[in-house]
Structure 1
Amino acid sequence: MQIQKSLLLLFVCMTFVQIGCSQEAKPSYGNNAAAGRYYSVRGIKLYTEVYGTGKPLLLIHGNGGSINAFASNIPYFAKKYKVIAVDSRAHGKSRDDRDSLSFEMMADDFAALMDVMHIDSAYVIGWSDGGINAIELAMRHPDKVIKLASTGANLWPDSTGIIPSYWKQEQIDYNAKKNTVFTTAREKNDWKVFLLDWFQPNIKLSALKTIKCPSLIIAGDHDLIPTEHTVLISQNIPKAYLWIVPNSGHPTLIEHSDEFNKKVDEFFVKPFNKR
């Protein structure tokens, strides 16, 4: 009996050690001092975390988000890419005290960040506002993007670029707060970030023709972005493929992370076949 108790105690101790090691080994994405660093870019400091080695892969999160949005994706891609996860201007740990904010501004930030990091070009994954940023980056700095995967992006702010129910809620939120006098830095920043999606983006379909790189345009089949809008985006990018993810909402890369990671990786690896 004593031997059985001893063996049981040893098993329990080993289990706790294994659990502890597993938890300790998992990085806190977006708050990982070992991988994190600030880069001075265009008058602000962008917070980045770098994982893995290989060809550069830039990850761009959505509105109000941070690097942590890619917690389900970084471990997969870090096995074969140099993953560069960034807190966008005015998001996460990347502060920006100025009043204005635009997608063009952020796209220029990412291009400048790559220059500072001595990276000529990179693969790019963008989600939501990050998907818009990926498209803007490819338009404004075409030599910086090898291939891009953009999920949940829209080109303009209205009920054709965003599903009507969500756009109506945006209108309610805007009208409720538009006359508010914000006093704290956090309140001012949150309002600036909200307004980014209220007034922007404003991308013409014709502008998509300037994108040179192969592009994978993605959305969920019940995304915040109407499927028709996502189809329009893919149809107007010369080297684009379309993927509407079944049984998925806006966070395709989270709800279907395994499939998302594999499919995007396959797209990056395979040569582009002209349609």
Structure 2
Amino acid sequence: MSYAQINGVRFWYETHGAGRPLVLLHGGFGAVETFAAVRPALTRRRRVISVDLPGHGRTADVDRPLRYESMADDIAALIVELGLAPTDVLGFSLGGGVALRLAIQHRELVRRLVVVSAPCRRQGWFPEVLAGMPDPDEAAGDQLRGTPPYQLYQAVAPRPQDWSRLWVKTGELLRREYDWSPEVATLTTPTLLVFADADSVRPDHMVEFFGLLGGGHRDAGWDGTDRPDARLAVLPGLTHYDIVDSPALPAAVLPFLTHTLHTPA
């Protein structure tokens, strides 16, 4: 458990377990604790490095906006600083967007990529999810007071009074339009997409995203030789809000990280 100074940000990260490294990136308003339920299963097979993203958890806010692209550059620099490259990376929700941008912007640093409950374009979310994304207004952040994310932030943040700033910056980030489909279509990094069957991401977008990575275009053949290196897992009985607490997540992720792919990883 330590800090690393990266691009003007003092990043908190924790390391557990041993073996090939796996970097975990949490969702919006989260922290390393997001993965507490599944980390024991992951650390039995991996050296797990969990990171608090800028303005989240124990990583204090700095005077710049939250952007997927800049956070991806930060995580890239952290991976280099810690000597982890090439590493496996798993990102959930907002962290999934950061992980995807990391693989796009710094392909040489990512061995295998796992994107959990995150779309590759903003319109991949259900309309009601888009409508409910945080209003970038400090007063609106008061509605989360007393909730588990707020309580965690108050317990661990270097400046608990910055909650309202995190709310505003996250709202600004989530309300920005993006469509990374063309870049996703060029990715060669072996990628696993994981969603809940009652996720905040539309099922048709899950299939669209998988298709951009080369999946779902043909039958794999009786011996599986035509199977793409991309994988898609839709976990039953789960939602966007409990998928990271389910043992089904590491059960889907660990085989992907360890099995031999057709394309050298």
Compute the TM-score of the two structures, normalised by the length of structure 1: 0.78
- Select the residue among 121, 130, 135 that pairs with 1:174: 135
- Alpha-carbon shift at residue 220 of structure 1 (Å): 1.0
Listed as ranges, the gaps of 5+ residues in structure 2 are 143-160, 215-228
Q: Does 2:125 align with 1:135?
A: no
- Select the residue among 260, 263, 266 that pairs with 2:252: 263
CA distance in 1, matches of 2:8, 2:64: 14
C-alpha change, 1:102 and 1:92, in structure 2 (3 Å) is same
- Alpha-carbon shift at residue 204 of structure 1 (Å): 2.7
Q: Which runs of 4+ in 1 moved over 4 A?
A: none
- Alpha-carbon shift at residue 156 of structure 1 (Å): 2.9
Instruction: Output aligned runs, 1:22-171, within 5 Å.
Output: 36-157=1-122, 160-170=123-133
C-alpha change, 1:178 and 1:65, in structure 2 (3 Å) is closer
Q: Deviations over 1:113-147 (max 9, x none)?
A: 01111122111111101111111111111111111
Residue 217 of structure 1 corresponds to: 193
Percent identity of paired positions between Structure 1 and Structure 2: 26
Larger helix proportion of the pair: 1
- Alpha-carbon shift at residue 252 of structure 1 (Å): 5.4
Aligned residues: 230
| Cα pair 1:253 1:261 within 8 Å, conserved | no
- Select the residue among 174, 185, 191 that pairs with 2:168: 191
- Alpha-carbon shift at residue 44 of structure 1 (Å): 0.8
Letter in 2 for 1:167: L
3-state SS, counterpart of residue 210 of structure 1: coil
CA distance in 1, matches of 2:181, 2:192: 16
| Cα pair 2:138 2:167 within 8 Å, conserved | no
Q: Deviations over 1:49-87 (max 9, x none)?
A: 000111010000001110000001211111221110000
Q: Deviations over 1:191-232 (max 9, x none)?
A: 1122211115x1331110232211111111110111111211
- Alpha-carbon shift at residue 179 of structure 1 (Å): 9.4
| Cα pair 1:90 1:193 within 8 Å, conserved | no
Letter in 2 for 1:250: H
CA distance in 2, matches of 1:125, 1:266: 14
Q: Give the alignment's Cα RMSD to 1 decimal.
A: 2.1
3-state SS, counterpart of residue 218 of structure 1: strand
| Cα pair 2:12 2:59 within 8 Å, conserved | yes
| Cα pair 2:198 2:240 within 8 Å, conserved | yes
Structure of greater relative contact order (alpha carbons < 8 Å, 6+ residues apart): 2
- Alpha-carbon shift at residue 253 of structure 1 (Å): 3.6
Residue 9 of structure 1 corresponds to: none
CA distance in 1, matches of 2:193, 2:97: 11
| Cα pair 2:86 2:109 within 8 Å, conserved | yes
Residue 233 of structure 1 corresponds to: 209
Residue 28 of structure 1 corresponds to: none
CA distance in 1, matches of 2:62, 2:167: 11
